[in-house]
Every structure is written in C-alpha cells, then in structure tokens.
Amino acid sequence: MKPETSDYWSRLVRSFTILLLTCDIYNFDVVEGVNPEVEQHLEMGKKLLAAGQLADALSHYHAAVDGDPDNYLTYFRRATVYLALGKSRSALPDLDKVVKLKPDFTAARMQRGNVLLKQGKLDEALLDFNEVISREPNNDEAIGKASKIAPLKENVDLAKQYLEYQDYQSVILVLEEPIELCPWDTNLREMRAEAYEAMGELFKAISDIRPTAKLIPDNQQAYLRMSLLHYRMGEEEDSLNQIRECLKLDPDHKQCHSHYKVVKKLAKQLKEAQDLKVQGQYDECVNKAKNIIKTDPDAPQFVVRAKSYLCHCHSKLSNVDESLKFCSEVLQIEPQNIDAMMDKAEAHIANEDYEAAIQELQAAQEIDENSRRVKELLQKAQKLEKQSKKRDYYKILGVKRNARKKDILKAYRKLAVKWHPDKHEEGPEKEKAQKMFIDLAAAKEVLTDPEKRERFDSGEDPLDPEEQQGGHGHPFFHQGFNPFGGGGFSFKFNFN
C-alpha cells in the first residue's frame, strides 16, 4: 500500500481515531482537576476527530495544550491528529513531549517509533521499539517492527553500493521494501529516482520525486527536477506547471527562471504550430516548426515534434523532397508514427510514386489495422496506381497536381493550338493529332471541374465508362458525341 494514496490516509485516520478512543476507554492516567475549559476542548476534539473533521479537532487540541501544558495526553491527542493530517514533522515534537512527561506511556513510544521508521530514522525507531518491548514483552507490533530494522539498514547500504557501481536495476529492487516501510524518507526516494532516470524510466522517476516536494519544505530542487524530466519526455505543459511551482517558492531562483523562459517559449511555439497545421496555413506552419528547432535543438522530443510538423506541412504543400526528408527522420526515431507514415505516403503520391506510397501505407496498416484514415488513403493510392497505367490528365497537360485552374487553362490553350487537327495533314500524323486533341479536351474537362477533379485525385477517372455506374461516361464517345463528326473533319474548339 502506497502512503500517498487516499485509501492509505483514510485507514490512517481510522486507526488513529481508534487509538485515541482506546486511550480514553482505558483512561491512561488522565490528570485530575483539569480546567473545565480544557476538558471541553478535549471532548470537542475527540468528537470532531471521530467525525473525521481533523482541522477542527486540531484547533481544539491547540487550545487544550495551551490551557494545560503539563497534560501529556493533550500532546498525544494533538500528535495523533497531526499524523492523520500527514504532518509528521509537527507530530514528533508533541510525541517527544509526551515521552518526556510520561516515559512509561508505551502508546506514545510506539507511535513515535512508527513515525521515525516512516521517516527512515531506523536507529532512533529501534530504540523506541526496544523500549516498548522491555515494558511489554508480548507486544507483537513492537517485536515485528524491531525485527525489520536490521534488514532495512542492510538493504539501504546495498542500494548505495549498487548506485555507486551503476547497477540501477539492483538499486530499484533492494529499495522496494525500504520505501514501502519508510515512505517519508526522501533520501530513499531520491536514490531510486536517480536509478529510474539513469534507466530512462522518467515517469517513475517523477513519481518518486513528487512526494519529496511535499515532505521537504520549500523544495525548489524537486520542482526543478520534475520540470526537467517532463521536458525530456516532451511534456511542455507539465514541465511548465512544475517550474512555476519552483518560482512560487523563489521567484529569483536562477535555474528555475532560466528554464521557465525556454519552456514557456517552446510551449507557445508548439501550440501555434499545431494551430497553423489545423487551420491549413502550411507555409506559416513550416516557419514555426523551424523556429521550434532553433529554440532548443538539443531537446529530442521537441525536435521530433517539430519535424513531424515539417513532414506534414511540406507534404500538404507538395514539397516532396522536403516532406520525404523530414518524414523519414521522424520515422527513424518513431518507427510506428502512423501520422508520419501517412504524410510520407502523401508525399510519395504527390511524386506519383504510388508503389512506394502503397508500401508505406501497408506497413502503417500492420501497425493499426483498424485505422480508417490509413485504409482510405491506401485505397486512394491503389486507385491512383491503377489509374497511372491509363490516362493521366495532369501529364497530358504537363501540369503539377497542385496546379491552379488558370495554369491548367494556359497549358490547355498552348497544347490545343499545337495539336489542332486542322494543322496536320491527312494520314498517321492527323490521326495522332486527333487523339491528342481529344485527350487535351478530356483533361481540360476534368481538371477545370472541381467535382470531377476531386474524383480524379481520389483515383477515379470520371470519364472512364468502365468506372461509372450512373452515366458518368466519356463526354465524347460514351455519350455518342464525336467532335470530328461522321464525315470529313471540320471542327472549331473553344479555348475558354
């Protein structure tokens, strides 16, 4: 059971409440002639404690101690409430006072021994347990706790040796029981955190450092260390939150302030890059991603995220070479990054390397066979590969896939003049011109119509009668229209 869990504290409160009530049942030398006002505070404190209202109970015990500073039981009750609130540092002085006022009060000795054990003060804890055993030879709890001290000390010494020899796995193993029995010993947690960090298990390292930030007052170093670990994990928001906690304790802390400036800047840049990507502002996205790398080129997790943006945004801009470069760099670090695989496939499609795109998407499908996005893009690539073996309207006009309508019309007009059948003599040359002219007209028809162009870009030829089931056939022959007529050639075409 971990001491920081809510279940642990609820059990602790119940056990302390039972302990206090037991003390009252057996009437441990309650001082007679207590001030009625003090007696009232003690009674109210007991009732509030039983109801789980610890803070209110504590205020009454404060008043009781002030009113009767020589009553050991008031100190004991207040110490018990402190412990229930997780304030062991405040409880110890009260327990010390109880033992001083009533040396034979074994309940206080036992409680102090337990606190000292949890704090990792093993020699001091052993003295209390042995004192209890000397007065109560059959006290099983004291006997059991005392018997654990020597093995615990041995494990702690072993952990130090393993850490010195950089045997981090052994450090973690031998510290398991000491940390379980001494959860408030910050040295043990810091030692294990160091081992976890050396093994690259940064999340576990943070889990061990986090309690030390509460157990040690004004522990700026704990917050700085957690922030740096979150930073290494590429978790900028968590890193920012922790470094702010450090600056709350000391606004002038040089390391925390310096790190804060970097994290804050990166967090802003990463958010802006993401927003630009979502908004489709790909040129700005590329520039922002480059700035992220400039901010801290030695932060691998953030650099790879910046390269992911470069991979995606270059892909959307049809900057094939740049996209393939950054996508490949991302995948070298994160081989199962589905988004990078899809962006790389998009770049291959833009480069008309459909076979490479299909291979990339099939690999992505093996990683996530239920991804609808991968499935749809794979189907598109497969259609485009099949289509590439037929007519490619972009190639016919000699334009890029991202060409604007005015560029398409310009290319069409230029080629239509060149291949107009009237400019060619009868025979094979004229037949070739007629065929080219028809293909040019078809390319213009598809690529200047947004709906048809979208269908073509998804791998479907809207003018191929074999692919149509609703009358979307070739506008010339499938619907019975021949621009050259049934007899001699006489044709005037519209360049618009």
Task: Give the model's pLDDT for residue 18.
Answer: 47
Say if residue 84 is in the same domain as residue 153: yes
Say if residue 308 is in the same domain as residue 292: yes
What average pLDDT does range 49-77 have in this prediction?
89
User: Which domain range does residue 82 map to?
Assistant: 6-158
What average pLDDT does range 201-225 have in this prediction?
95
Say if residue 144 is in the same domain as residue 71: yes
> Residue 188 domain-assigned?
no
The Cα–Cα gap between 270 and 157 comes to: 45
Residue 386 above 60 pLDDT?
Answer: yes
Which range has the worst mean pLDDT, 16-25, 42-51, 185-194? 16-25
Of 388, 423, 440, which closes a domain? 388
Structure-block tokens of residue 125: 């804890």
Residue 447 above 50 pLDDT?
Answer: yes
Average pLDDT, the chain: 86
Residue 362 above 90 pLDDT?
Answer: yes
Task: Give the model's pLDDT for residue 16.
Answer: 52
Say if residue 116 is in the same domain as residue 252: no
Q: b/e map of 316-349 (b: 16 or more CB within 10 Å)?
A: bbbbbebbbbbbebbbeebeebbebbbbbbbbbb
Residue 8 above 80 pLDDT?
Answer: no
pLDDT in tens, 118-160: 999 999 999 999 999 999 999 999 999 999 999 999 999 999 9
Residues 113-119: contacts with CB under 8 Å, at least 24 apart: 113/142, 113/145, 114/145, 115/83, 115/88, 115/91, 116/92, 117/145, 117/149, 117/181, 117/182, 118/3, 118/88, 118/181, 118/182, 118/183, 118/184, 118/185, 119/88, 119/182, 119/184, 119/185
Say if residue 257 is in the same domain as residue 363: yes
Residue 492 above 50 pLDDT?
Answer: no
Task: Give the model's pLDDT for residue 36.
Answer: 83
What average pLDDT does range 471-491 have in this prediction?
42
Task: Give the model's pLDDT for residue 15.
Answer: 55
What average pLDDT does range 42-70 have in this prediction?
88
Residue 32 above 80 pLDDT?
Answer: no
CATH code of the domain containing 431:
1.10.287.110
- Among 426, 470, 469, 465, which residue's Cα sits nearest to residue 442? 465
> Residue 163 domain-assigned?
no
Residue 234 above 50 pLDDT?
Answer: yes
Say if residue 295 is in the same domain as residue 425: no
pLDDT level of residue 430 (50, 70, 90 thresholds): confident
Residue 28 above 50 pLDDT?
Answer: no
Which range has the worst mean pLDDT, 96-105, 287-296, 387-396? 387-396
> Residue 272 domain-assigned?
yes
The Cα–Cα gap between 240 and 231 comes to: 9
pLDDT in tens, 328-338: 999 999 999 99
Of 388, 415, 443, which closes a domain? 388
The Cα–Cα gap between 474 and 483 comes to: 12
> Residue 297 domain-assigned?
yes
CATH code of the domain containing 242:
1.25.40.10
The Cα–Cα gap between 71 and 39 comes to: 11
Residue 288 above 50 pLDDT?
Answer: yes
Q: How large a percentage of the chain has pLDDT more than 90?
A: 62
Say if residue 334 is in the same domain as residue 410: no
Task: Give the model's pLDDT for residue 185.
Answer: 95
Task: Give the model's pLDDT for residue 10.
Answer: 53
Say if residue 240 is in the same domain as residue 263: yes
Structure-block tokens of residue 222: 């704990």
Residue 14 above 80 pLDDT?
Answer: no
> Residue 168 domain-assigned?
no
Task: Give the model's pLDDT for residue 29.
Answer: 42
Task: Give the model's pLDDT for residue 486.
Answer: 38
Task: Give the model's pLDDT for residue 358.
Answer: 95
> In the block, which residue shows the tokens 């000397």?
134
Helix (H) or strand (E) holding 4: none
Which range has the worst mean pLDDT, 124-133, 384-393, 409-418? 384-393
pLDDT level of residue 308 (50, 70, 90 thresholds): very high
Phi, psi of 226 (to 5 degrees): -65, -40
Distances (CA, A) of 265 to 189, 236, 268: 32, 10, 5
> Residue 169 domain-assigned?
no
What average pLDDT does range 283-298 have in this prediction?
96
Say if residue 235 is in the same domain as residue 380: yes
What average pLDDT does range 1-26 have in this prediction?
48
Residue 491 above 50 pLDDT?
Answer: no
Q: DSSP letters along 429-467, please?
A: HHHHHHHHHHHHHHHHHHHTSHHHHHHHHTT--TT-GGG
The Cα–Cα gap between 338 and 194 comes to: 33
Task: Give the model's pLDDT for residue 466.
Answer: 67
Say if residue 355 is in the same domain as residue 422: no
Say if residue 299 is in the same domain as residue 273: yes
Of 92, 125, 158, which closes a domain? 158
> Residue 277 domain-assigned?
yes
Task: Give the model's pLDDT for residue 39.
Answer: 85
Say if residue 231 is in the same domain as residue 345: yes
> Residue 180 domain-assigned?
no
Task: Give the model's pLDDT for residue 469.
Answer: 55
Tally of domains within the chain: 3
